[in-house]
Amino acid sequence: FAGYTPRTRNPNFKQLTAADVGKFGEILPKNRMLVSKELGGSEDTSDMDGYNTDWIGIYKGKAQVVLFPINAQEVSQILKYCNSEKIAVVPQGGNTGLVGASVPVFDEVIISLQKMNKVRSLDQDSGALVCDAGCVLEVLDNYLADHGLTMPLDLGAKGSCHIGGNVSTNAGGIRYLKYGSLHGSVLGLEAVLPDGTIVNNLSTLRKDSTGYDIKQLFIGAEGTIGIVTGVSILAARRPSSVNASILGANSYEDVRHLFKQAKSELSEILSAFEFWDSESMTLTLNYNKFSPPFETLYPFYVLIETSGSNTEHDEKSNLAQNGILAQDKSQFRKLWDYREKMPQAIFATGYAYKFDLSIPISKLHDIVGYLKQKLTSEGLFLDKDGKIDPSLPIISVNGFGHIGDGNLHLNVLMKNEDEKIIESFKYQVYDWIKSMNGSISAEHGLGIIEAENLHYSKTPEVIDIMKKIKHLFDPNGIMNPYKFFPPT
């Protein structure tokens, strides 16, 4: 259980037949289709588990067909056929999404962008990179490195996630502080609509004030209005001096103070400011078998990254002198590993109910303390001395995130999934977020997990406009159904 999971398949969607598979076979060669034995192919359904199961391992669909187009024309023919036959589809990138959006709920056809992975062009004057949507983020960054450039986003899943997936989830990540949102750095998109229309909006211009900015609708649309097949994005100059430092902090107030100090001392070279609490640290140390950065376990940790062009100048900050400053590339990686390997540690230690919240920075960690207190007073977490009690159902309540962006990943870690316990706290968290004018999904999207909670962040009028946009693009509702919108 995590969020609303529909129990009934929409009967308006066609059940696939061998004849449909035959039609797909007219568009794609056999070696770019996975088809189950039931539909005349050679795959055991278990062979398709990797495509049917999400990264967390909670959501599992039953797609019997996975298609691998290599260009927008093939995507167009597939969608046109599916739309005319009312066959529901799920676009899939690297399948690293964390809200259950990238896998089918029932038997939707998976359209994987995996084989659309070519760089199309790079304008070295402007830094405009144009590429297929299925390019892996890290591969693009390595490509740009050869040209002295870098991607304007970075995240823990960079080795698997696709740029098309990043665009479709409006991914944030650890460089958001420096380079801002994809709504700013994406210059253009190529997308295929459900009726097969190929929308070429692959501009490489930085400035363009000619009417509605259609590409913005696809950023964060989670595959609900079309399939992104090409992306034009503004790469940034690759910093020649990058460094990281970890500091321990005794209170959240100290974390805030450090953030203010970092902004004033480091100014434009500050590229990331991440934080986590001692509970998150304990989980990552135990699971990844890392040795702690300091002898003492601090209540909070801060990771500061700088990206500049003058090593000597960049290392002069007083901030770095109070913590551990990476001395070389391998130590730089090690410091980042504390933070980047945190999600794996949390998901592997128990059943994690996670929130991805946007909150004013001053209040960011308050909700963690509040939840801890509430769950302890209800006899679900911590003993009377405030220590972990292994006999209780909750193992950890922790928070980490991108403090510079006001983004907290709050996790309630249980020994086992317990619907009753989740129900007892989740709406209180959402009410609290609403009272702060925060967002219930800062960077992961809505998917299945947050669809029913959309009203905590968006007014009825906004939700109504969203529904009208969906209907305009996808009147048959075949694109990534059962997700994104509150169930009706």
Interface positions with ligand FAD (CB under 6 A): 55, 90-98, 101-102, 113, 133, 155-157, 161-162, 164-166, 168-169, 171-174, 222-223, 227-228, 343, 443-444, 480
CB of 435 to ligand FAD, least distance (A): 24
Report the residue number, 56 or 128, with the smaller CB distance to ligand FAD. Answer: 56
CB of 417 to ligand FAD, least distance (A): 19
The residue sitting closest to ligand FAD, measured at its beta carbon, is 165
Q: Minimum distance from CB of 434 to ligand FAD (Å)?
A: 22
Half-sphere exposure of 50 (CA within 13 A, CB side): 9
Nearer to ligand FAD, 41 or 343 (CB): 343
User: What is the Rg, in whole angstroms, of the alpha carbon atoms belonging to the chain?
Assistant: 23
Question: What is the C-alpha separation between 107 and 65, in angstroms, rounded?
Answer: 8
**430 touches 400 (CB < 8 A):** no
Closest contact distance (angstroms) between CB of 218 and ligand FAD is 7
Contact between residue 450 and residue 100 where contact means Cβ atoms under 8 Å apart: no
Minimal distance, residue 147 CB to ligand FAD, in Å: 23
What's the token pair of residue 186?
Answer: 């994406």
Taking the least distance from each CB to ligand FAD, the nearer of 95 and 271 is 95
In terms of phi and psi (left: phi > 0; alpha: psi -120 to 50; beta: otherwise), the region of 9 is beta
Q: Where are the alpha helices (DSSP H) in 176-303?
A: 176-179, 182-185, 215-218, 252-266, 278-288
- Of 214, 162, 90, 113, give the one whose Cα is nearest residue 482: 90
Q: Which is nearer to ligand FAD, 259 or 425 (CB)?
A: 259
With 0-12 CB in 10 A as exposed, 13-18 as middle and 19+ as buried, what is 18? exposed
DSSP letter for 3, please: S
Q: Categorise residue 267: left if φ over 0, alpha if ψ from -120 to 50, beta otherwise.
A: left
The residue to which tokens 């709406």 are assigned: 427
Amino acid 184 reads G
Q: Which is nearer to ligand FAD, 281 or 320 (CB)?
A: 281
> Of the two residues 165 and 248, which places its CB atom closer to ligand FAD in the complex?
165
Provide, rounded to whole angstroms, the least separation between the CB of residue 253 and ligand FAD: 25
- 154 or 314: whose CB is closer to ligand FAD? 154
CB of 391 to ligand FAD, least distance (A): 31
